[in-house]
Amino acid sequence: MTHEHSASVVLVAGPAGSGKSTLGGALAADLGAALLDLDVVTNPVLDRLQAERLFGDRHWNDASLRPLLRPARYAALRDTMAAQTVSTVAVAPWTAELAGGEEWRVLVDSLGGEPFVVWLRAGSELLARRRENRGLDRDAHIVDGGSSPAVAHIAVDAAAPTADQVRFVVERLTSQSR
């Protein structure tokens, strides 16, 4: 089902394990929007480089590699978002961008306007349980964005059922377009 809304880009953000990919996929399907997930856009390349041991014994998400790789990953996602001709749901932690500084300005400039931001709010126990259940190597090197975004956003309970999360977000998008 497609809905009228004013946002051409919806960012789904939150810490690792909060359910960003799940909500992003359901939201994109409901809105009839393209889904762009940072992990889908960049991880295949990084995983291949990892397998070739380009990073030595370090995982590509290791803190020592983050200053090099994070800007490149987000540039790839921003460029892919900017190239879209349809509404887009973009999934990533967006930690630096949501702090409201230079990274936010670069994102807004690349999109030609401010995106609609959805922040998945989750407690540490829920995050730990979800990360343990999925058992991904990259989770050993995660960085939590502990506080709410400094930019305008709506907060969504990460523990709520996905259908309820989608309904909540779509209601806010619809009311914004009035």
Can you tell me the distance from the alpha carbon of 129 to that of 125, in angstroms, rounded to the nearest whole number?
A: 6
Q: What is the pLDDT of residue 139?
A: 55
Domain span at 14: 9-176
1 in any annotated domain: no
4 in any annotated domain: no
120 in any annotated domain: yes
Listed in sequence order, the residues at least 6 apart from 25 whose beta carbon sits closer than 8 Å to its beta carbon are 35
132 in any annotated domain: yes
Listed in sequence order, the residues at least 6 apart from 160 whose beta carbon sits closer than 8 Å to its beta carbon are 168
- Residue-averaged pLDDT of the chain: 87
Q: What is the pLDDT of residue 16?
A: 79
DSSP state of 132: H
Q: What is the pLDDT of residue 6?
A: 42
DSSP state of 115: P
Q: What is the pLDDT of residue 7?
A: 53
Number of domains the chain is built from = 1
2 in any annotated domain: no
Low-confidence ranges of the chain (pLDDT < 70): 1-7, 126, 128, 130-131, 134-146, 178
What are the distances in angstroms from CA 103 to CA 2, 19, 95, 159, 164? 31, 23, 9, 29, 31
127 in any annotated domain: yes
**pTM, 2 dp:** 0.85
H helices of the chain, in order, are 20-31, 38-51, 66-82, 102-111, 124-134, 162-176
CATH classification of the domain holding 166: 3.40.50.300
92 in any annotated domain: yes
27 in any annotated domain: yes
